[in-house]
Amino acid sequence: MAEQTPIIVTDNTLEGQIATLLRYLLAAAGSFALGRGWIDSEALQALTGLVTVAAPMAYGIWVQHKNKQKLIQTAAYAPDSVAQVVSK
C-alpha cells in the first residue's frame, strides 16, 4: 500500500488578526479623513458600509476557493472508495 499524505490542519489565527487590524485601521483612516474635511459623514458612512459588506464577502469567496482547492487535492490522493475528483 502506498504511503498517504496526512491531512494537515493549521492552528494559525493570523488571518483573523490581520482582518481585525485592517478594520481598525480603516476606522481610524475614515475618522482622520472626516476630521480633516476630506470627506463628509455621509461619504464615510457609505464607505464604511461598503467595506464592511464587500470585504467579508470577497474574503469568504477567496477562502471557499482555497478550501475547495485543498479538498480537490486531498480527494486526488484518497482511494477511489473514499473520494473521487470528477470533472464537469
Q: What is the pLDDT along the chain (88 residues), one digit of tens a residue?
A: 567 776 666 677 787 788 788 878 888 888 898 899 998 989 888 888 888 788 778 888 988 888 888 888 888 888 877 777 787 7
Q: Which domain holds residue 50?
A: 41-73
Q: What pLDDT score does 69 carry?
A: 87
Is residue 13 a part of any domain in this protein?
A: no
Total domains in the fold of the chain: 1
- Separation CA 30–CA 21 (nearest Å): 14
Is residue 19 a part of any domain in this protein?
A: no
Is residue 28 a part of any domain in this protein?
A: no
Backbone angles phi, psi at 52, to 5 degrees: -70, -20
Is residue 52 a part of any domain in this protein?
A: yes
Asked whether the beta carbons of 23 and 31 are under 8 A apart, the reply is: no
CB atoms within 10 A of CB 44: 17
